[in-house]
Each structure stands twice: as C-alpha cells, then as structure tokens.
Amino acid sequence: MKWKTLQHNGILFPPAYEAHGIKIKIKGENVDLNLNQEEMAYQWAKKKDTPYAQDKVFQKNFTEDFAKTLPAKFKNISYQDIDFSHAYKIVDKEKDLREMMTKEEKKALALKRKELREKLVQKYGKAIMDGKEVDVANYMAEPPGIFIGRGDHPLRGRWKPRVTAKDVTLNLGKEAKVPEGNWGKIVHDNDSMWLAGWTDYLTEKRKYVWLADTAGLKQDRDKAKYEKAVKLSKEIEKIKERIVKDMKSKDPKISRIATVCYLIYRTAMRVGDEKDPDEADTVGATTLRKEHINITENTIEFDFLGKDSVRWQETVKAEGNDKQFQENLKKLIQNKKPKDEIFEDITSRHVNAYYSSIVSGLTAKVFRTYLATTMVKNYLKEHDNIKGKTPNEKLYHAKLANLEAAIMCNHKRTIPKTYEDALQKKRDTLKNIAKEQPWKKTMDALKKAEAMEAKTDAQKKNKAKKIKTLNEQIKKQKEKHSERAEKLQLQIDLSEKTKDYNLGTSLRNYIDPRIFKAWTNEVGVEWEKLYTAALQKKFLWVQNEKVLWSELAKN
C-alpha cells in the first residue's frame, strides 16, 4: 500500500486546434479539410524545416495516416502527390510575426503564458496525498501530433491522435470527490503511485500522470534506490567472486548467465529486455548479437546501438578476471551467425534472479547506480589536493568527476550545431582578456601619487594613505581580472572534455547526491552550485542525512 487517501483535480487537456484556413491540393485537385485533417497538415508544416521532413519513412508513415482520413479515392496517394505549400506559407508567416514582435510584445506574451501556467498549476498541479499537499509532475494530457521516435523507429511520422477524458482513468482515494469530467474510469488503487493514465492510441503503451520528484513518496523511493547501491558496494567482493566462479561452471547455462552478469558489472551496460518488433532495433547485455562484438588478442570491442539508439562503443582490455570473460565470449560466438544473440536463451529475468540469489533485491540496474556513484567517489578521493584551490576550480573538479560517471553510463549527446563556433568565441575572448590591463589607469594614478611632493607631515600622511589605497585597488583589479580569465579557461576546458557527453542524466539519476554533499562540505564549496533548483528539490531528502566525507571515503 502506497497511500491511504488521495485527492486531486484530474488532468488538463490541451486546447482544441484552431482553424488556420489551410488549403491543400492532392494531384493538383483542391481538397477541403475538416478540423482534424487541417490539424494534421498544420503539424506536418511545422516540421518542414527539420531533418524529419526529408526522411522517407517519416513521409510515408505520415502520408498513410493522413490518407486514411481522406475520401476513398485518395487511399493510395504518395507523399509527392500532396501540395502543402499553403500550409508552409501559413507556418512561415506565423514565424515571421513572432520574430517581428517588439520587445514589449514578447515580454507581455511571456507574462501572459506565465500567468496562465500559474493559474493551471493552482488547479491541476497539486494533489493531496495522506493529508499532505504534493506537486503533480505532468498534469496535462499529451497533445496530438506527429510521432517522433528515436533512431530508426518504424512508427516515426505516424499520427498520434488526441486523448479525451473518456480515454482517461483517474486514480483517487475512495473518500475523494471525483473531479468534474466525462472520465473513462475511476479507480481507487492505493498500491499505485499514478494519478491518471490512458493508453496511447498509436504505440498502445500506457501513459501516466505522476507526482513530482518533490513528493515524499518519490523522495523515499529515490533514497531507497541509492541504499540498494550502498548494499551492493558492501557485498561487491562476494558478488564478484561468485560470478567469476560461475563463469567457469560446467553447466553451460549457469556459465552464460554469469558471463552476462560479469559484462554488466564490468561495463555498466543495461540488461537488455525483450522488445517489440515495431520499435527501433536496440540492444543491451542479454540481447547483444555476435555482430556487436569483436574479440582480438587481448581486447573485447563492443559496438552497438543501446537505449535511444545511442551508439555504445567500448573496448575492454582483457586482464585478470576479464580473461575468463573473454574466453567465454569467444566460445559463445564460435558457431554463431552475425545476427545470432550471444547469450541465446538468457533473459533479463535470469540475470535478475541470479543477482538476487546472491544479494536479495539486487537487479541489473543497481550496477549502473553503483558504478556511477563509485566512479565519482573514487575520482574525488584520488584528486584530493583541492582544498587550497578557488571555488571555480573546485566546481570544475566536481564536474570532471561527474563526467567520469557519464562516460561510464555512456550518456552521449549529439554535438550542438554551434559547438565549434561557441568554443572559438570563448578562446578569442580569453585571448583578449589576457591582453587587457584594467588596472592600468589605477597604475598611472599610483605613479602620479608617488611623484607627488609632500613636505608637511600631514601631506606625507595623506600621500602614504593614497598610495596604500591605490595599491589595494590594483590588487583587487588584478584578482578580478585573473579570476575572470581562470573561470573562462576552466569553462573552455570543460566544454572540450564534455563535448559529446551529457552530465545531467548521471547527476539526476545515478550519482548518490550524498557523495557531492559530503565532498562539498569537506572542501568548502556550495553544494547548490552543482545542482539546479529543480535537482535541489529532488534531493531534498539529502538535507536530513548526516554525511561525512571522511566516513564515505573510507570505502
């Protein structure tokens, strides 16, 4: 049971589509559009300048769904048959109007948006769970639109229809007042955390409305996740021994399971669950195929598409226990074809059953938490001559630790289009800063003061005072100048190092926040400088933890 009482105001639906008077032609013939069809055309037009619009599968999928809504004679049209030029014109015009708006108009519009949002949050953004007010995360139903998957998703370009109240199930306490609306179903499932849910027409996946990270229930679970990783770290030697032993097992199935488990422990790879055929072809540890690995004399090379079709390229040097691992892999792929799964009949269930037989509650994903957290802890431990450094250097240092975790978890990002230009600009600015001498004027004043004639005691005193003040001023100016240069230099360095890595995901989901909490306390830098306002709220539970770096650093 997760709660006793639960009250909320249901969910909000996106506004109905407003007609723009879009006209289209199919094979040269004018075709009238109803509101739904026009909405589809409008959404397509909004995508026209993105790479999606050039994607053949995207075009074909959209055209098919669009054709389904049209008269029978258009059933078999192809993308090239449709003339969207009027829709494109309308979208361009809207964009122009937005850009032509004056500062004041933009500001007024932003303010209006903000006010509306605040009003809606008042009504839908709060729930009362067990007598306490808690924030709701996503209280709005997903708007209709063109499905954009990641990688080669077979459904990309298809139309995701509008969700209405009758599609939605609300989860409320028995005592709660049912919010007004034509809801599909009301349930009182106090074993669940969701407030509302519906099944997505297109993907046939269940969608949910959840509480925000700030809710007590969420905080407890987040802490429990990191506690699991702590438990794993305490038992890691035992686990490793068992896996290494079982990799040599005579029972081929046990050996296979142990080999996948070693892979996960060694690389922080995801376990790799079963997938639907109408999803992008991505893999994890248990679903790796022969074509994804290459074994050389003393390495194992991995190259495959993982979650979100992010490429995972890694070379594992086979040393120590890795030798057995390498041997097992070699044997496993021996008589297989490139498309064959390396671990054949092994699934995530086998892996998790095996792990939890060693440590209760242990599953594959805990390894990613454990490995990312350990990475950060060890990096900070090994680079501990930091206390005398500036706050900028300390934070830079923490971010390098964060980067280690991101690399471990393979949190890659596409390099931003403006990356090179932005970096060059920073380099140029740094060069200019080096040339600047903002203390020069003060220096001149100092020289003048020094040359000043002073006869009486009062004059001498006055002169000395002036010289002292100017010297102090110069010192301050120089400090400020060098700090500015230092800050920019560190920024440049970090942006080069994190070029294609995304630090946010590991910070949010994998690194035990108590590590950075203890470390920032230890070295005297603000914890808040590492975590955004939203993350500070997510990790509110950390505030009640007594964490000492000296204790954490012991193991």
Partner DNA sequence: TACCGGACTTAGGAACTGCTCT
Partner DNA sequence: AGAGCAGTTCCTAAGTCCGGTA
| Catalytic center residues | 510
- In the bound state with DNA, the residue whose beta carbon lies nearer, of 422 and 548, is 422
**158 lies in the binding site for DNA (CB under 7 A):** no
Distance CA 234, CA 373 (A): 13
How many angstroms separate the CA atoms of 290 and 330, rounded? Answer: 10
Q: Site residues for DNA, window 352-381 (CB under 7 A)?
A: 352, 356, 361, 363-366, 368-369
Per-residue binding string, DNA, 117-156, x by CB under 7 A, is: --------------------xx-x-xx-x-xxxxx-x---
**Rounded CA separation 31/353 (Å):** 59
DSSP single-letter state for residue 541 = G
Q: How far apart are CA 365 and CA 540, in angstroms?
A: 23
Q: With CB under 7 A as the contact rule, which of the stretches 107-115, 177-185, 244-252, 384-392 interacts with DNA?
A: 107-115
Distance CA 509, CA 268 (A): 14
Which residues 73-92 are close enough to bind DNA by CB under 7 A?
Answer: none
The one among 73, 95, 114, 475 contacting DNA by CB under 7 A: 114
Question: If binding is defined by CB under 7 A, does position 112 make contact with DNA?
Answer: no
Comparing CB distances to DNA, the nearer of 74 and 124 is 124
- Note whether 466 binds DNA by CB under 7 A: no
Please list every residue from 226 through 255 that binds DNA, using CB under 7 A: none
* Radius of gyration for the chain, computed over Cα atoms and rounded to the nearest angstrom: 30
Helices of type H across 248-271: 252-267
- Residue 160, C-beta contacts closer than 8 angstroms, at least 6 positions apart: 142, 144, 145, 146, 147, 200, 201, 202, 203
The SS3 call for residue 149 is coil
Under rule CB under 7 A, residue 321 binds DNA: no
In angstroms, rounded to a whole number, what is the distance separating the alpha carbons of residues 70 and 64? 10
Of 26, 295, 535, 547, the residue at the interface with DNA (CB under 7 A) is 535
Among 8, 23, 158, 160, binds DNA (CB under 7 A): 160
The size of the interface with DNA (CB under 7 A), counted in residues, is 90
Q: Which of residues 491-510 bind DNA (CB under 7 A)?
A: 491, 502, 504-506, 509-510
Instruction: Please give the residues from 386 up to 415 whose contact with DNA meets the rule CB under 7 A.
Output: 409-414
Q: How far apart are CA 154 and CA 142, in angstroms?
A: 21
541 binds DNA (CB under 7 A): no
Sort 165 into a burial class: Cβ within 10 Å, 0-12 / 13-18 / 19+: middle
Q: Which 36-75 positions form the footprint of DNA (CB under 7 A)?
A: 50
Answer for which of 31, 186, 244, 280 binds DNA (CB under 7 A) is 280
Contact between 197 and DNA by CB under 7 A: the answer reads yes
* Least separation in angstroms between CB 106 and DNA: 9
* Span 417-436, contacts to DNA by CB under 7 A: 418, 422, 425-426, 429, 432
| Dist CA 463 CA 167 (whole Å) | 83
**Tokens 């630090």, residue located:** 503
